């Protein structure tokens, strides 16, 4: 497990660690309260490759994807208030088999276990805000 204490303008440090360790097909589960910075982390990661268009939360979409030279695509999902069984029926596992790296906001434990059972490599990042406007990022490689 790696742990980072960062402000938003320091996210490049975590993004660099992710770039060095992520491979095509990896799934990054992001956990934290509303407003903890899950979308901000994905935005920083996508922008670290020079992407200049708006990166936003896929709350009202199934997924958003961003072309990327290193991973083909960076896929971004939001599971907030979405039933995992409904998502499976809509083809979530098939979507996660697409080429690229996959970031899933609100990736809870039951989803993590399901993904591992289906042979996916999962990285979990738990984000906790601090009173000093920093965030604690706990990164676990499963």
The total of structural domains in the chain comes to 1
Q: Which helix (H) or strand (E) holds 40?
A: helix 38-47
By DSSP bridging, strand 27-31 and strand 122-129 are: parallel
C-alpha distances out from residue 104 to 9, 18, 96, 131, 132, Å? 22, 15, 10, 26, 26
pLDDT at position 122:
97
Domain containing 18 — which CATH number? 3.40.50.300
Which pLDDT score is estimated for 2? 95
pLDDT range class, residue 105, cuts 50, 70, 90: very high
Does a structural domain hold residue 53?
Answer: yes
What is the reported pLDDT for 69? 87
- Pick the more confident residue, 81 or 122: 122
Angle in degrees, 0-180, between the axes of helices 11-21 and 38-47, rounded to the nearest 10: 70
Closest of 85, 63, 59 to residue 75, by C-alpha: 63
Domain assignment present for 103: no
Residue 107 has pLDDT above 90, yes or no: no
Task: Tell me the pLDDT band of 127, cut-offs 50, 70 and 90.
Answer: very high
pTM for the full model? Answer: 0.93
Average pLDDT, whole number, for the chain? 92
Q: Where are the beta strands (DSSP E) in 70-134?
A: 72-78, 101-105, 122-129
The answer as to whether 137 is a domain residue is no
- Domain range for residue 15? 7-98+112-131
Residue 136 lies in a domain: no
Strand-pair partners of 64:
76
Q: Would 76 be classed as within a structural domain? A: yes
Instruction: Check residue 53 and give its pLDDT.
Output: 80
Spatial contact of 63 and 74, defined as CB atoms under 8 Å apart = no
| pLDDT category of residue 36 using cuts at 50, 70 and 90 | very high
Which tokens hold the place of 62? 């199934």
- Read off the pLDDT of residues 65-94 as tens digits, 9 standing for 90 and up: 999 888 889 999 988 877 777 888 878 889
The vertex-135 CA angle with 129 and 140, nearest 5°, equals 110
Q: Is residue 81 part of a domain?
A: yes
Measured CA to CA, the distance from residue 18 to residue 68 in angstroms comes to 14
Residue 20 contacts residue 12 (beta carbons within 8 Å): no
Check pLDDT > 90 for residue 132: yes
| Residue 21 banded pLDDT, cuts 50, 70, 90 | very high
């Amino acid at each position: 497990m790696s742990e980072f204490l960062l402000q938003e303008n320091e996210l490049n440090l975590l993004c660099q660690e992710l770039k060095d360790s992520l491979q095509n097909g990896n799934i990054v589960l992001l956990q934290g309260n509303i407003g903890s910075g899950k979308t901000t982390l994905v935005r920083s990661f996508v922008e670290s490759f020079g992407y200049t268009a708006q990166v936003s939360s896929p709350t009202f979409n199934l997924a958003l994807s961003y072309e990327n030279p290193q991973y083909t695509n960076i896929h971004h999902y939001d599971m907030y208030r979405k039933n995992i069984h409904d998502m499976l029926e809509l083809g979530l596992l098939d979507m996660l088999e697409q080429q690229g790296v996959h970031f899933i906001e609100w990736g809870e434990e039951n989803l993590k276990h399901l993904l591992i059972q289906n042979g996916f490599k999962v990285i979990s990042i738990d984000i906790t805000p601090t009173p000093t406007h920093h965030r604690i990022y706990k990164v676990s490689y499963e």
